[in-house]
Amino acid sequence: MPTNGAPTKITQGSQTKGGIGESTLRPDGTLKVTGEFAYSSDMWHEDMLWGQILRSTVAHAEIVSIDTSEALALPGVYAVMTYDDLPTDVKNYGLEIQDTPVLAHGKVRHHGEPVAIVAADHPETARRAAAKIKVEYRELPVITDEASATAPDAILVHEGRDDLPQSQLRSTGGTPISGHVPHPNIVHRQPIIRGDVASAAERADFVVKGEYTFGMQDQAFLGPESGLAVPDEDGGVQLYVATQWLHSDLRQIAPVLGLPERKVRMTLSGVGGAFGGREDLSMQIHACLLALRTGKPVKIVYNRFESFFGHVHRHPAKLSYEHGATKDGKLTHVKCRIVLDGGAYASASPAVVGNAASLGVGPYVVDDVEVEALALYTNNPPCGAMRGFGAVQACFAYEAQMDKLAKEVGIDPVEFRQLNAMEQGTVMPTGQPVDSPAPVAELLRRVKAMPLPPERQWESSEGADVRQLPGGLSNTTHGEGVVRGVGYAVGIKNVGFSEGFDDYSTARVRMEVVGGEPVATVHTAMAEVGQGGVTVHAQIARTELGVTQVTIHPADTQVGSAGSTSASRQTYVTGGAVKNSCELVREKVLEIGRRKFGSYHPAWATAELLLEGGKVVTDGGEVLADLVDVLEGEAVEVEAEWRHRPTEAFDLRTGQGFGHVQYSFAAHRAVVEVDTELGLVKVIELACAQDVGKALNPLSVVGQIQGGTTQGLGVAVMEEIVVDPKTAKVRNPSFTDYLIPTILDTPTIPVDVLELADDHAPYGLRGVGEAPTLSSTPAVLAAIRNATGLELNRTPVRPEHLTGTA
> Contacts with other proteins in 77-106 (CB under 8 A)?
none
Measured distance CA(770)–CA(421) in Å, rounded: 20
**From candidates 276, 384, 471, 518, binder to other proteins by CB under 8 A:** 471
The residue (of 444 and 680) whose beta carbon lies closer to other proteins is 680
* 583 neighbors 10 (Cβ within 8 angstroms): no
**652 CB-near residues (< 8 Å, 6+ apart):** 172, 173, 175, 180, 190, 191
Does 34 help bind other proteins (rule: CB under 8 A)?
yes
Question: 499 with 170: CB under 8 angstroms?
Answer: yes
**Is 680 among the residues that bind other proteins (CB under 8 A)?**
yes
Three-state secondary structure along 301-321? ECCHHHHHHHCCEECCEEEEE
Task: Give residue 306's region: left, alpha or beta (phi > 0; psi -120 to 50).
Answer: alpha
For residue 464, the Cα-to-chain-centroid distance in whole angstroms is 40
Closest approach, Cβ 507 to other proteins, in A, equals: 18
Neighbouring-strand partners of residue 372: 191, 337
If binding is defined by CB under 8 A, does position 600 make contact with other proteins? Answer: no
- Beta carbons of 526 and 555 less than 8 angstroms apart: yes
4, 6, 44, 199: residue in contact with other proteins (rule CB under 8 A) = 44
- Do the beta carbons of residue 421 and residue 364 sit within 8 Å? yes
By CB under 8 A, tell whether 26 contacts other proteins: yes
Interacting residue with other proteins among 7, 9, 21, 28 (CB under 8 A): 28
C-alpha span between 235 and 255 (Å, rounded): 14
Q: Quick check: 334 binds other proteins (CB under 8 A)?
A: no
C-alpha 485: how far from chain center: 30
Minimum distance of other proteins from residue 283's CB (angstroms): 14
Which of 12, 244, 349, 531 lies at the binding interface for other proteins (CB under 8 A)? 531
Q: What angle do CA 647, 651, 654 make, to 5 degrees?
A: 130
From candidates 11, 166, 468, 558, binder to other proteins by CB under 8 A: 468
Q: Does 746 interact with other proteins (rule: CB under 8 A)?
A: yes
Stretch that binds other proteins, among 183-191, 391-399, 516-524, 797-805 (CB under 8 A): 797-805
Per CB under 8 A, which of residues 204..233 are in contact with other proteins?
Answer: 219-224
Selected from 5, 6, 36, 173, the binder of other proteins by CB under 8 A is 36
Q: Looking at the chain, how many residues does it have? A: 806
**Partners of 49 in beta bridges:** 298
Q: Is 749 in the site for other proteins (CB under 8 A)?
A: yes
Least CB distance from residue 800 to other proteins, whole Å? Answer: 4
Q: Which of 426, 476, 654, 656 binds other proteins (CB under 8 A)?
A: 476
Nearer to other proteins, 171 or 777 (CB): 777
Residues 567 and 770: beta-carbon distance below 8 Å: yes
Q: Is 478 in the site for other proteins (CB under 8 A)?
A: yes
DSSP code, position 152: T
Q: Does 514 bind other proteins (CB under 8 A)?
A: no
- Identify whether the C-beta of residue 95 lies closer than 8 Å to the C-beta of residue 248: yes
Tell me which of 191, 258, 453, 472 binds other proteins, using CB under 8 A.
Answer: 472
Integer distance in angstroms from the first to the last C-alpha of the chain?
55
How far apart are CB 706 and other proteins at their closest, in Å? 4
**Binding test (CB under 8 A) with other proteins, winner from 4, 5, 6, 32:** 32
Verify binding: residue 45, other proteins, rule CB under 8 A: no
d(CA 762, CA 355): 23
Cα separation, 777 vs 796, in Å, equals 9
Distance of CA 525 to the CA centre of its chain: 17
Q: Around Cβ 179, how many Cβ atoms within 10 Å?
A: 12
> What is the smallest separation between the CB atom of 753 and other proteins, expressed in angstroms?
14
**Contact status: 316 vs other proteins (CB under 8 A):** no
d(CA 650, CA 583): 34
Give me the least distance between CB of 533 and other proteins, in Å please. Answer: 11
Sole window of 64-72, 301-309, 430-438, 758-766 interacting with other proteins (rule: CB under 8 A) = 301-309
Shortest distance, CB of residue 43 to other proteins, whole angstroms?
A: 9
Q: What mask, x for binding other proteins by CB under 8 A, covers residues 637 to 676?
A: ----------------------------------------
483 scored as a contact of other proteins (CB under 8 A): no
Alpha helices in 410-434 (DSSP H): 413-420
- Cβ distance to other proteins smaller for residue 96 or 306: 306
CA distance 548 to 519: 7
What is the nearest approach in angstroms of other proteins to the Cβ of residue 274? 8
Per rule CB under 8 A, is residue 480 in the interface with other proteins? yes
Angle, CA of 500, 505 and 508, to the nearest 5°: 160
517: contact with other proteins by CB under 8 A: no
Q: Which of residues 121-140 bind other proteins (CB under 8 A)?
A: 122, 124, 127, 131
Contacting other proteins (CB under 8 A), which of 154, 305, 408, 790? 305
Opening angle at CA 513, ends 508 and 515, nearest 5: 125
Given 6, 64, 449, 473, the residue binding other proteins (CB under 8 A)? 473
Q: Pick from 174, 474, 554, 628: which binds other proteins (CB under 8 A)?
A: 474
Binding status of residue 551 toward other proteins by CB under 8 A: yes
Nearest residue to 424 via CA among 750, 799, 2 = 2
Contact with other proteins (CB under 8 A): which of 477, 564, 571, 788? Answer: 477
Amino acid at 10: I
Q: Which of 732, 752, 753, 760 binds other proteins (CB under 8 A)?
A: 732
- 505 - beta bridge partners? 642
> Per CB under 8 A, which of residues 238..277 are in contact with other proteins?
270-275
Among 9, 265, 304, 596, the residue binding other proteins under the rule CB under 8 A is 304
Binding of other proteins at residue 678 (CB under 8 A)?
Answer: yes
The yes or no reply on residue 504 touching other proteins (CB under 8 A) is no
Q: Would you count residue 392 as binding other proteins (CB under 8 A)?
A: no
Please say whether the beta carbons of 464 and 479 come within 8 A. yes
Within residues 682-721, the interface with other proteins by CB under 8 A covers 682, 699-700, 702-703, 706-711, 717-718
The Cβ of residue 583 has, within 10 Å, a number of other Cβ atoms equal to 17
The alpha-helical segments, DSSP class H, found in 453-569 are 533-545
**Burial classification of residue 798, based on how many CB atoms lie within 10 Å of its CB (0-12 exposed, 13-18 middle, 19 or more buried):** middle
Number of residues near other proteins (by CB under 8 A): 103
Q: Name the residue nearer to other proteins (CB basis): 222 or 514.
A: 222
Shorter beta-carbon distance to other proteins: residue 597 or 735: 735
The identity of residue 409, as a single letter, is: V
